[in-house]
Amino acid sequence: MSKPAYLPQQLDRMLQQAVALQRNGALVEAEELYREILELKPRHADALQLSGALALQTGRLQEGVEWLKKALAVNPKQAAVHSNLAYALNALHRFGEALASANRALALQPEFPDALNNRGNAQAGLDAPLDALASFDRAIALAADFADAWNNRACVLRDLGRPADALASCDRALAVQPGFAHAWSNRGNALADLNEPGQAEASYRRALELAPGFVDAWNNLGLAQIDLNRHAEALISYGRALALNPEAAETHWNESLCLLQMGRFEAGWRKYEWRWERSRIRASRRVFAQPLWLGDFSLAGKTILLHAEQGLGDTLQFCRYAAMVSKLGASVILEVQPELLRLMSTLAGVDQLIQAGDPLPPFDCHCPLLSLPLAFRTDAATIASVTPYLFAQPGAARAWRERVDADAQGRLKVGLVWAGGNRPHVAELRKNDARRSVTLARLAPILDVADLSNVQFFSLQKGPAAQQLAASEWAPRVIDYTGELRDFADTAALVANLDLVISVDTSTAHLAGALDRPVWMLNRFDTCWRWLLERGDTPWYPRARLFRQPALGDWDSVMKAVGSALAGDALARSGVD
């Protein structure tokens, strides 16, 4: 039986009515009409693509993708549909597919701002920020009032380490669209990168006035409050975010750091397990057939794999738990980074040492190193604070002693580290690395103590920042043997012969602490959780002394205090081992 001749006109009327309903917010009614159209004509391209757009509008991303693909199967030459598909795929973090869809849209319509914007978001998701920036710039050149593109451009400028430009881009977005909550939140992020937490807080609050259910803005507000040393308020902000989205992994993670900073260890260690749900960390989570041990079953007679995670300093700090695990009756396999392998041979409680990446022997259960405090229900009173638990190899230490003592000629022997690692590809790590590190020139109030003629400095700085020494005016005051240090066992043998290590928050500070050498740590205001709050000492390393910034970015006060303390020690202890 043939379809009625008037069907095309009927479908057109139904489509117009459905579009009008969708524009007026009657989404359920619009969707019903699109379905009726598709029952009459299953390959109706407009009904298919509009069903997809409606699904995206109501947050049903995967369903939207399926409708849009059906529309393109009917008519692949629809640039707007390819662009909408790219938008949906970006939202699903399927960035490679999103890029392909955006490129198809642009092949059909090269000067299509929406497609350029979606291409930029896909490129940003694929960690190609320069390509993304070019796409956003092209979109803006075609549509100067494209607020979304200005806002997205700000995000990649932050990724490129250009926070001032990111701030300007947010302001352009807000000039076009003052009620753009995401741009206000991103503006706060740029201000936070610029060490302006008070202004960042104001931007986040404006975002929340516009969108009270904006989870990321609540989370970011909490981070700003941490930078303002208002930790109790930060916990409230994180709580607001989690009430809106109980599965917000980044917020759980930030809450854990705040709790640990505040010394609320029981809740903090539990929350710290959320690290494995973070998008940046999830891919590195180790998956084994053997069970995870968190102190919840007996280890007697079992073999457990303890495996390193995160940075070298984390391994140096938490490897101390190996002896505690061994005392529970377990045979301990410890897997660590290559740089630490020789040094870890001096650690008690380890039955087998494995370099990360090498084949693993059989084991019954496993635990990541930074889950061990949870497994042992560690609190401030039960931190395993006995040092040393790592040791320099005796022969190497003796060889260094002869050289170091000859260089020092009775003066106080002081090692220096002024910069940690640099991880520019991750925004949160880039900010922390910038805040914890200084230039060699910043150490001037400390280096000038050498003029007293009873201090001899030794560089322990590795990496690109080490190059600052040779070209500096302080080069004659600092002996540099770092070219001979191949791994941490070599560094330990040198550090074992120093009277003091002065270091920013980096792995060498942990090394000195684990070796039970005196270490003075130059600590940023927004301190890492492990150093707690408002303390000049730390329960993790009994011979460590913390010199904290009194305000965000205030290194001058820290250097002055350390220089004064060093001058006093040098006068009192010169040449004393």
Q: What CATH number does residue 559 fall under?
A: 3.40.50.2000
Residue 149 resides in a domain: no
> What average pLDDT does the structure give for the chain?
90
CA distance between the termini of the chain: 103
Q: Which domain holds residue 469?
A: 394-573
The tokens describing 33, both together, are: 């009409």
DSSP states along 9-57: HHHHHHHHHHHHHHHTT-HHHHHHHHHHHHHH-TT-HHHHHHHHHHHHH
- pLDDT of 1 reads 40
Render the burial of 484-517: b for 16+ CB within 10 Å, e for the rest. Answer: ebeebbbbbbbbbbbbbbbbbbbbbbbbbbbbbb
Three-class DSSP category at 70? helix
Residue 106 resides in a domain: no
Q: Tens of pLDDT along 333-388?
A: 999 999 999 999 999 999 999 999 999 999 999 999 999 999 999 998 899 889 99
Q: What are phi and psi of 558, to 5 degrees?
A: -65, -50
Tell whether 483 and 566 lie within a shared domain.
Answer: yes
Three-class DSSP category at 298? coil
Three-class DSSP category at 336? strand
User: Which residues does residue 352 pair with via DSSP β-bridges, in sequence order?
Assistant: 333
Q: Tens of pLDDT along 472-488?
A: 998 989 999 999 999 99
Residue 356 resides in a domain: yes
User: Which residues does residue 544 pair with via DSSP β-bridges, in sequence order?
Assistant: 519
The tokens describing 417, both together, are: 């580290």
* Cβ-based neighbours of 457, under 8 Å, separated by 6 or more: 414, 415, 416, 447, 450, 474, 477, 478, 479
Tell whether 424 and 463 lie within a shared domain.
Answer: yes
Residue 78 CA to residue 198 CA, distance in Å, equals 47
Residue 505 CA to residue 386 CA, distance in Å, equals 21
Does the pLDDT value for residue 425 go beyond 60? Answer: no
- With tokens 């308020």, the residue in question is 233
Does the pLDDT value for residue 280 go beyond 90? Answer: no
The whole-angstrom distance between residue 222's C-alpha and the CA centroid of its chain comes to 16
Residue 466 resides in a domain: yes
Rg (CA), the chain: 29
Nearest CA to 121 among 109, 129, 112? 129
Residue 30 resides in a domain: no
- pLDDT of 569 reads 83
The pLDDT-based confidence of 471 (bands split at 50, 70, 90) is confident
Q: Tens of pLDDT along 555-571?
A: 999 999 999 999 988 77
Tell whether 322 and 402 lie within a shared domain.
Answer: no
Residue 347 CA to residue 335 CA, distance in Å, equals 12
Tell whether 364 and 403 lie within a shared domain.
Answer: no
Q: In what order do the strands lie in the sheet with 303-307?
A: 352-355, 331-336, 303-307, 365-368
Residue 540: C-alpha distances to residues 325, 385, 417, 509, 534 (Å): 18, 5, 20, 12, 15
Tell whether 357 and 399 lie within a shared domain.
Answer: no
Residue 426: C-alpha distances to residues 129, 131, 315, 403 (Å): 12, 17, 21, 40
Three-class DSSP category at 178? coil
Residue 422 CA to residue 161 CA, distance in Å, equals 12
Q: Tens of pLDDT along 398-408?
A: 999 999 999 99
Strands, DSSP E only, in 85-125?
none
Q: What is the mean pLDDT of residues 193-202?
A: 96
541 C-beta neighbours (distance < 10 Å), count: 25
Asked which of 340, 375, 410 is the last residue of a domain, the reply is 375
User: Which residues does residue 415 pair with via DSSP β-bridges, in sequence order?
Assistant: 458, 501
Residue 135: C-alpha distances to residues 102, 254, 317 (Å): 11, 32, 44
Do 458 and 447 touch, CB atoms closer than 8 A?
no
Tell whether 346 and 314 lie within a shared domain.
Answer: yes
The pLDDT-based confidence of 73 (bands split at 50, 70, 90) is confident
Does the pLDDT value for residue 182 go beyond 90? Answer: yes
Residue with the larger pLDDT of the pair 393 and 4 = 393
Residue 413 resides in a domain: yes
Tell whether 458 and 524 lie within a shared domain.
Answer: yes
- Residue 450 identity: A
Residue 477 CA to residue 494 CA, distance in Å, equals 18
Do 261 and 249 touch, CB atoms closer than 8 A?
no
Q: Taking the CA of residue 233 as centre, how many other CA atoms within 13 Å lie in the half-sphere pointing to its CB?
A: 12
Burial (CB count within 10 angstroms: exposed 0-12, middle 13-18, buried 19+), residue 210: middle
Q: What is the domain-level CATH number for residue 356?
A: 3.40.50
- Domain count within the chain: 2
Residue 574 CA to residue 103 CA, distance in Å, equals 69
Nearest CA to 463 among 497, 442, 491? 491
Residue 193 resides in a domain: no
Tell whether 430 and 535 lie within a shared domain.
Answer: yes
Do 514 and 347 touch, CB atoms closer than 8 A?
no
Nearest CA to 182 among 220, 144, 142, 145? 220
- pLDDT of 432 reads 80
Do 546 and 535 touch, CB atoms closer than 8 A?
yes
Does the pLDDT value for residue 397 go beyond 80? Answer: yes
Q: What is the DSSP letter of 228?
A: T
- pLDDT of 5 reads 47
Residue 455 CA to residue 436 CA, distance in Å, equals 25
Residue 25 resides in a domain: no
- pLDDT of 576 reads 45
Tell whether 497 and 544 lie within a shared domain.
Answer: yes
- pLDDT of 47 reads 63
Do 115 and 109 touch, CB atoms closer than 8 A?
yes
* Cβ-based neighbours of 422, under 8 Å, separated by 6 or more: 430, 433, 437, 463, 464
Tell whether 430 and 336 lie within a shared domain.
Answer: no
Tell me what percent of the residues of the chain surpass a pLDDT of 90: 74
Does the pLDDT value for residue 575 go beyond 50? Answer: no
- With tokens 């750091």, the residue in question is 257
**What angle is formed at CA 485 by the lines to CA 479 and CA 491, rounded to 5 degrees?**
85
Residue 175 CA to residue 188 CA, distance in Å, equals 16
Does the pLDDT value for residue 2 go beyond 50? Answer: no
Q: Tens of pLDDT along 125-151?
A: 999 999 999 999 999 999 999 999 999
The pLDDT-based confidence of 18 (bands split at 50, 70, 90) is low
- Residue 173 identity: A
Residue 389 CA to residue 116 CA, distance in Å, equals 56
DSSP H or E segment with residue 546 = strand 544-548
Tell whether 458 and 409 lie within a shared domain.
Answer: yes
Q: Tens of pLDDT along 352-364?
A: 999 999 999 999 9
Do 478 and 469 touch, CB atoms closer than 8 A?
yes
The tokens describing 302, both together, are: 């079992």
Tell whether 398 and 371 lie within a shared domain.
Answer: no
